[in-house]
Amino acid sequence: MKLGVRVLSAAGQDSGAPAGVARRRRTDPRPRWPPAALWVPFLLAMAFIVLPLAGLVWKAPWGHVWTDLGSSTVGTALRLSLECSLGAMVIAAVLGMPLAWVLARVALPGRSLIRALTMLPMVLPPVVGGVALLLAFGRAGLVGQWLYRATGFSLPFTTWGAMVAEAFVAMPFLTLTVEAGLRSADPRFEEAAATLGAGRWTTFRRVTIPMVAPSLAAGLALAWARALGEFGATITFAGNFPGTTQTIPISVYVALETQPDVAIVLSLLLLAVSIVVLASLRDRWFPAGAG
């Protein structure tokens, strides 16, 4: 019998509830419409969000959208953006998942400070993050100088530098989402796996990861979307070199001066990606009570 099934059975017997019982849907007690006093601020808030997006759609050059998207410049920026954002997502997953587990499962001294530092890239101005990365990993930086002396490799102004800059701003989204999933997961399943003789790695791989799979998927999607749209840290730390570090957001900034139609088309592409990611995550991936 597989370990996962045995863990479910053991945990179900321990809690006194049968395993696999479907969660019942409860009727939503909230009113269907806002109070009359909130209609005006509600509509103003929605207009404040929707009108800029509507302006973008209204000004889009629909007659030659596909021609602009098919140009070599856009194609290069799109390929580079996909490579860097996917690489940043992998970096965020490799570093962010263990960090999330420690924050959720270990009573580490100074955990509140560690969580605050984890969240810092979310509120830090991206340009400031780029400067910080440059001072840490630049050729004369805190760590970069030793890397350059040992290998002759300088991280800034390279494709790898763009990946690192995007991972720096994207990792908190994955870490906090996975941490919320771990906190909402029942730890008795992991305890049951331990009583059945599973080691820590086996428990983590066969029990913990399947339990937080929805949160992990949500964190990966959020980290990827954030990395895809990163601009400030990337241009500060990696620069603006076509084919090397010029991602789609940087291309939008450059094209806005000389080719505004291309800038609008690229903006629409990023807007569509953001809408698809958020729509796919809403009420599907985030566990109830997460965060």
Q: What is the residue-level pLDDT of the chain in tens, covering all 291 positions?
A: 455 545 545 455 454 444 444 444 556 688 888 888 889 999 999 999 999 999 999 988 888 888 888 888 888 999 999 999 999 999 999 999 999 989 988 888 888 899 999 999 999 999 999 999 999 999 999 999 999 999 999 999 999 999 999 999 999 999 999 999 888 887 788 778 778 777 778 887 788 888 888 899 999 999 999 999 999 999 999 999 998 999 999 999 998 888 888 899 899 989 988 888 888 776 555 444 444
Using the structure block, give the residue that is written with the tokens 């937080």.
212
Question: Can you give the pTM of this predicted structure?
Answer: 0.81
For the chain, what are the domain ranges? 84-291
> Which CATH architecture fits 84-291?
Orthogonal Bundle (1.10)
Residue 206, C-beta contacts closer than 8 angstroms, at least 6 positions apart: 3, 4, 7, 193, 198
Average pLDDT of the chain to the nearest whole number: 84
Which uninterrupted H or E stretch holds 255? helix 248-258
DSSP assigned state of 139: T
Residue 216, C-beta contacts closer than 8 angstroms, at least 6 positions apart: 97, 177, 178, 181, 209
Q: CA-CA distance, 270 to 276, in Å (whole number)?
A: 10
DSSP assigned state of 286: S
Q: Identify the burial level of 135 via C-beta atoms within 10 angstroms of its C-beta, where 0-12 means exposed, 13-18 middle and 19 or more buried.
A: middle
Q: CA-CA distance, 132 to 160, in Å (whole number)?
A: 16
Q: Identify the burial level of 235 via C-beta atoms within 10 angstroms of its C-beta, where 0-12 means exposed, 13-18 middle and 19 or more buried.
A: buried
3 state DSSP class of 156: coil
Please write down the HEC assignment for all residues of 207-248: HHHHHCHHHHHHHHHHHHHHHHCCCHHHHHHCCCCCCCCCCH
Residue 3: the pLDDT is 54
